[in-house]
Structures are given as C-alpha cells and as structure tokens.
Amino acid sequence: MCMGFGCNACGVMGARIIDSPRERLIAILTNNFVPCNGRFPTIISIITMFFVGINSGMISSIVGTVILMGIILIGIMMTFISSKILSKTILKGEASSFTLELPPYRAPSIGSIIVRSIFDRTLFVLGRAVIVAFPTGLLIWLFANVSVGDSTIMEYCTNFLEPLARVMGLDGVILMAFILGFPANEIVLPIALMAYTMTGELVETTSLINMREILILNGWTIKTAICTIIFSLMHWPCSTTCLTIYKETKSLKWTAVAIALPTICGILACVVINSMWILFWK
C-alpha cells in the first residue's frame, strides 16, 4: 500500500513479498484505491482552486493539508473495506500470518544496485508506459482534431457520455478526460481543458486562476469538484498498472476485476454524492 502512494504499478510489484497467493491477489486488486503520484496533481489542483483559494498562506496550507489527508484516508479506508469484502466472498480462505525475515547484512555493491534499479525497475516500468502512451497520444489528437460533420469525434463522445456523467455529478468532458487519461492520470485535467477550450491540443497552464475560470465557465461547481476528486481517487488503474497486474497474475480475469472494482466503487460514490447534493442543497 505504501509503495502505491508513489506508483500503483510499483505497489502491485511490491505485493510479491506476500507468501499467500490469495492475500497477494487481494493486495493487488485493492492497491489502486491508494492515490499515486499521477493522481495527486489533479486532486491537489482541484482542492486549491475550489476549497482553499488561490492565495497562499498559513491557514490555506493547513486547510488544504487537512482536506488532502481526508481524501487519502478515504482511499485507505476503501482499501481495507474492499479487502475485507473480497476475503469474505470471491477470495475466501484462512488468514495467514505474515513474517518478513531479514537476510544477513552484506555491504551493498553500488554498481549492482545502479544496474538493477535502472534495468529491472526504471526501464521496465517506462517501457510499459511507452507501449500504451504513444498510440493513446495519437488517439487523443485524432479525437480532438478529426471532424465528422460539424463536430469532432471528441464532441460526439462527450455528448454520448453526458447522461451517465450527469448522474455522477460530472459532465461528459470530465468522464471522457478520464477515459483518454488511461495512459497517465496526470493528463486528465489537460485533456478536459483541451475539450473545453477546443484548442485541438493538450493545454498546459501554470495559472490555477485561469484554469479555475475556464472550469467555472463550463459549469463546474463545488459538487463537480468533489465528484471529480472522488472519481480521481477511485477509478480504473492506469495503463502501466494494468499491464503490471496482468504480468503478476497471468490472468485477464483478475486484471478485469482490478479495473472494475475501483471503477464501480467510484461510480457508486459519485452517484450517492450527487444524489445527496440534489436532495439537500439544490
């Protein structure tokens, strides 16, 4: 779980230390509830724009930290809850004790550490990212720039997703941004901004003030921000994580479960939040 805060793919690989195949599988399936570095920029940006305020200060920093910690705790809680449900349903079995035996201490070999870290880990993860990133980048460009009739493919897709997205407290653009952000969670907001501004290319802006104005002009409210944060916390794993899950489990079925589990939880959570908001605050 702790490794998942850096990268969910690394968290999945870290589950190798668990001896029990059943409990290792549970750890793999629930790892995605922990927000990784790819999701933190989106979550932190939305918190800053809609809950803390653009101006920095001690109070703003404290409020932002408390909100972010609350979101992280929600992710950890979902990990425990889903693990408990899985262990009582489709992955029943006897709980086993976990003992990690420390090997004898030996002086590290600097050369060996550098080689193993670069080739066994860094290039391994980056290679998997490239496999999906290039074709998906091309797909994003085609969606934004190829027109059919008077609308781009992106507009057709966002209109198709609009009914489901509205039930979730989002809109079609946000939901489409999450789908096209499958290679890397960091590009979800840039894709949404691209669709809102209709620029035909990913939008990069360092000004949260400008970003907030664009989002508000396109119908964002506090409810939209909350639902987007929750869905960012709970939705399908990124491409690299999915490939890693498949390699670790050797199973398309369990990879599909790892995708479906957080996604279903995220959709249900957003639907509940949206319904409660309409019921009590609209």
pLDDT for the residue 95: 64
Is there a domain that residue 108 lies in? Answer: no
pLDDT for the residue 217: 92
Domain tally, the chain: 1
pLDDT for the residue 159: 92
Is there a domain that residue 103 lies in? Answer: no
Is there a domain that residue 97 lies in? Answer: no
The pTM score is 0.84
Asked if 51 and 65 touch (Cβ cutoff 8 Å), the reply is: no
**Which distant-in-sequence residues (6+ apart) come within 8 Å of 63 by Cβ?**
51, 52
pLDDT for the residue 129: 61
pLDDT for the residue 185: 85
Is there a domain that residue 163 lies in? Answer: yes
3-state SS class at 148: strand
Is there a domain that residue 195 lies in? Answer: yes
Cα angle vertex 261, ends 90, 36, to 5°?
A: 130
Domain that holds residue 256: 3-92+128-280
Is there a domain that residue 119 lies in? Answer: no
Q: Give mean pLDDT in consecutive 10-residue pieces for the chain, a chain of 282 residues.
A: 79 84 90 88 90 72 88 93 88 66 72 67 64 73 82 89 94 92 85 83 71 91 94 90 90 93 94 92 68
pLDDT for the residue 110: 74
Is there a domain that residue 102 lies in? Answer: no
In DSSP terms, 151 is beta-bridged to 148
CA-based nearest residue to 60, from 69, 70, 51: 51
Is there a domain that residue 259 lies in? Answer: yes
Q: Quick: pLDDT tens for 225-279.
A: 999 999 999 999 988 889 889 989 999 999 999 999 999 999 999 999 999 998 8
pLDDT for the residue 82: 92
Q: Quick: pLDDT tens for 182-197.
A: 888 888 888 888 888 8
